[in-house]
Chain A
Amino acid sequence: MSQDTKTGVMIGIKQQFGNLSSAAGALLLVGAFVFPYLPGTGQYQVFLLGQILAFAIAALAYNVLLGYTGLLSFGHAAFFGGSAYAVGLVMQYYGVSELLLLIPLGVLVAGTIAAVIGFISVRHTEVYYALLMLALAHLIYILTVKLYTVTGGTDGVAIMTPTVGGVNYLTAWGYEGYLMGILYYVILIGFVVTMVLLWTFMHSPFGLTLKTIRDDPDRARAIGIPVRRYRWYASIMSGLFTGLGGAMYAFLNGHVTPGTVLHWSRSGELAFMTVLGGTGWFFGPITGAGAFILIRSQAQQLTEYWHFVMGFVLFLVIVFEPEGISGIGARIRRRIRRWRGGGGER
């Protein structure tokens, strides 16, 4: 299916189900806001949803490159982990513990790394881009491991509980109140802001330019789009928001190590989430992040060989449903529409 028809289908679906899906979306959002107060919700569930939201931020950002610009990156761990490490190291060395300062800092550091790595990598496309990103990001991983006097090496960095707006919520509310209260809402708001901003960017002329480049770089060049520069902009934007996800992850987990945030397999996981949810859909990566974290937490409870389960799921998705969960969803919606006697096309 070409991207044009995909967009066409999206519009068709939106017209038919616009009210329904926006109502469902609003309901989900309200649900997310009251989630910690729902009966039967404990720390673990909130932690899990917090994880999902943090990764959803990063996956939404990842899709700016994969879904909208057509670039597969194997280097996003550098942005994700770069931000997480910036938060941890500044906390450790400068004693800054204000979350509202540390988050912008992490985002900025990730953006800077993305600007540098991206500038070099966008000289290439396709598999060369993926591998150059991989090499440069791995360089950062290795340096972090080797410079253990600064970074703590493979032991990583502890992220202490931050203050929010100068208030130490940990002493005020205890850990449960901190995690299920203020931190969860910081992550949720970060998620909503990311969603709104990226939606706006991707539906602006900027986003359309990226799509043009994705669909046909040569034609884009021919109509005067500076392709390489736009790919660079996309890399930076993707890096900034991936950094936001990384900072949220750091606060949520309280500890970061090179293996968990900077290793190239983390980049692979972000790609996995995005593809699992569906790269062709704006909201796909959110579903993907959710499905990934849920499958993983279930698999971890069942077996220590949960990597096997994740690998198998990824393999199945690419072989049988390259459009991911959103693709399955769209197919079901089309079927329902046809069943209702609506337009029979597609």
Chain B
Amino acid sequence: MVQQLLSEQLVIILNGLSGAATLFLLGTGLSLIYGMLNFMNLAHAAFLPLGAYLAASLIQRTVGAVGGSLGFIGLFVVFLVLLLVVVPAIVSLVGLAMERTAFKPLYGLEDDYQLLATFGIILMMEDAMKFIWGGQPVSATAPSNLLGSFTLPSGTYPWWAVLTILVTASVAGTLYYFFEKTRLGKITLAMAEDEEAVSFTGIDTRSIHLKVFVIGISLAALGGALYLPTASMTTGLALEFVILAFAVLVIGGLGSLKGAIAASLIIGMVQAYGSYYVPVLELALVFLLMAVIMLIKPTGLFGEIEA
């Protein structure tokens, strides 16, 4: 009985953590790009489905081509390389091309106009994905099936979700290390404070802009790649992910890494407990929470920029 209860709680917490992982990968990039570049990119969240669709294509091709010939370890390594390296790399290139063409003309505009123009961009990206991958839901569960699941008193749980949590935790750790300990990270933080002053010291702020942008986008793509093996992807999800990304941004505080971590954990847990105990209100709770936090602490939990 107690064991059953504990195991149920464990499943809820694991669900919360894996949900938080996706949200963190999605929201951090948006938050960093807003914090560092002062660019309100509504289209950011569309890079998550892009990563997921790409992952689906790559997994299906791989399984079709070499699935049988590789052993368990070989196939697992191939999947990891595809999802953790190849997908973020390709999406980064797409992001880079879009930065040069679509996002660059928007940098000087007011937040309002950035929101609207990037709303246009997300509509375009959605249809582009629909054009390439079709309107049907796409899924590729091979990596998750390969890893299998472990048994708990209340049922089984997929190892893939655990892997997602571990990978995301190490990404969060790396980002933290980057911003707190490395020179480039500190320059980036300084740029968020006063970009002009940094550029006076002879540092090429433009190239740092690009790096932050690409890091953000590849994180969203990684989020999509890790998310795919456990769920299916449909067009239209981009528009749903957008508002979750903004929930992370607002709850955590604009441009704060710590905030993004805290916010995604909070939202992940609210969703996990919500969907277990009050399934009807699961998502509603998230936006209620977002509204309440904006009212109590307008700058978000870790935000310092005055509203």
Contact = CB atoms under 8 A, between A and B. Distances in A.
A binds B: yes
Interface of A: 72, 74, 120, 123-128, 130-132, 134-136, 138-139, 142-143, 146-147, 263-265, 268, 271-272, 275, 305-308, 310-315, 318-319, 322
A130 B115 contact: yes
A135 B250 contact: yes
B11 interface: no
B272 interface: no
13 contacts: A124-B294, A127-B40, A135-B250, A135-B291, A138-B243, A142-B284, A265-B239, A310-B123, A311-B123, A318-B106, A318-B109, A318-B116, A319-B117
B120 interface: yes
Given A268-B116, A315-B124, 5 more contacts: A123-B298, A124-B298, A126-B112, A310-B120, A311-B123
Contacts of A142: 283-284, 287
Contact of A139 (B116, B287, B307): B287
A135 B117 CA distance: 20
A315 B40 CA distance: 14
A277 B259 CA distance: 38
Contacts of B280: 146-147
A313 B117 CA distance: 10
A128 B116 contact: no
B120 A263 contact: no
B111 A314 contact: no
A139 B120 contact: no
Contacts of A74: 115
Chain B interface residue count: which class? 35 or more
A143 B111 contact: no
Contacts of A305: 127, 130-131
Given A132-B291, A142-B283, A72 B117 contact: no
Interface of B: 40, 102, 105-106, 109, 111-113, 115-117, 119-128, 130-131, 239, 243, 246-247, 249-250, 280-281, 283-284, 287-288, 290-291, 294-295, 298, 307
A214 to B, nearest CB: 12
Contacts of B291: 120, 132, 135-136, 139
Nearest to A271: B116
Report whether over half of chain B's contact residues are helix, strand or loop; otherwise say mixed: helix
Given A268-B116, A272-B116, A315 B121 contact: yes
Does more than half of chain A's interface fall in helix, strand or loop, or is it mixed? helix
A315 B280 CA distance: 37
A275 B116 contact: yes
A126 B116 CA distance: 13
Interface centre among B102, B120, B246, B294 (most CB of A within 10 A): B120
A268 B294 CA distance: 21
Given A131-B250, A311-B123, A319-B106, A139 B294 contact: no
A311 B246 contact: no
Nearest to A136: B291
A311 B287 contact: no
A167 B126 CA distance: 45
Contacts of A126: 111-112
B294 A132 contact: yes
Given A124-B298, A142-B287, A318-B109, A312 B124 contact: yes
A307 B116 contact: no
Nearest to A316: B120
Given A307-B127, A311-B127, A139 B284 contact: yes
A130 B112 CA distance: 8
Contact of A311 (B113, B120, B249, B250): B120
Contacts of B109: 318, 322
Contacts of A124: 294, 298, 307
A139 B285 CA distance: 8
Contacts of B121: 311, 315
Contacts of A127: 40, 111-112, 115
Give the residue among B113, B123, B126 with the most A Cβ atoms within 10 A. Answer: B123
A146 B294 contact: no
A319 B113 CA distance: 9
B287 A307 contact: no
Contacts of A130: 111-112, 115
A143 B125 CA distance: 28
B107 to A, nearest CB: 11
Nearest to B105: A319
Nearest to A143: B284
B290 A135 contact: yes
Given A314-B119, A315-B102, A322-B113, A135 B247 contact: yes
